[in-house]
């Protein structure tokens, strides 16, 4: 059975963030680190070489595939910083209307800068997503 390609690493989050050349993106990442640590109660961990993740849950699908993944996180991608709202966006339509300027993928929230979105709404979105994931995938 194939394992998840994205795994936690021993890379130092502080060094990764400090290495971000763009000042605004680096500041946004530091703000996201504070927000996500506050919400999850977990320290940041590098997942792969470019994702900062918080917390962890274990999933097991009917197919038999299982593994671990982070509860929430972000990546300072070149095109647009990406925040991972692992629960997806279907249950958050009301919040999404109030969030601001963004794009989404299945569980990815893309913004040019945090100044484009309402930070209080982002905090609520991440909080709801983490709560949903913890309820759906309780610790064994």
Q: Return mean pLDDT, the chain.
A: 93
Three-state secondary structure call for residue 52: strand
Q: Do the bridges between strand 108-110 and strand 72-75 make them parallel or antiparallel, or are there none, so unpaired?
A: unpaired
Of residues 60, 56, 52, 87, the one with CA closest to residue 71:
56
Q: What is the pLDDT of residues 74-99, one digit of tens each?
A: 999 988 889 999 999 999 999 999 99
Tell me which H or E stretch contains 126. helix 119-136
Under the banding of pLDDT at 50, 70 and 90, the label for residue 140 is: very low
13-136 CATH, one of 3.90.110.10, 2.130.10.10, 3.40.50.150, 3.90.1150.200: 3.90.1150.200
Q: What is the pLDDT of residues 97-132, one digit of tens each?
A: 999 999 999 999 999 999 999 999 999 999 999 999
Phi, psi of 17 (to 5 degrees): -65, -45
């Amino acid at each position: 059975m194939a394992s998840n390609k994205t795994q936690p690493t021993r890379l130092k989050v502080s060094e990764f963030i400090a290495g971000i050349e763009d000042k605004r993106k680096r500041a946004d990442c530091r703000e996201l680190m504070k927000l996500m640590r506050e919400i999850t109660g977990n320290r940041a961990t590098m997942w792969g070489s470019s994702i900062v993740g918080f917390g962890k849950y274990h999933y097991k699908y009917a197919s038999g595939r299982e593994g671990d993944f982070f509860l929430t996180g972000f990546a300072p991608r070149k095109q647009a910083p990406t925040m991972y709202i692992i629960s997806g966006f279907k249950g958050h339509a009301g919040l999404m209307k109030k969030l601001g300027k963004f794009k989404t993928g299945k569980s990815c929230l893309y913004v040019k800068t945090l100044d484009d979105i309402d930070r209080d709404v982002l905090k609520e979105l991440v909080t709801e997503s983490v709560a949903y994931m913890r309820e759906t995938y309780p610790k064994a």
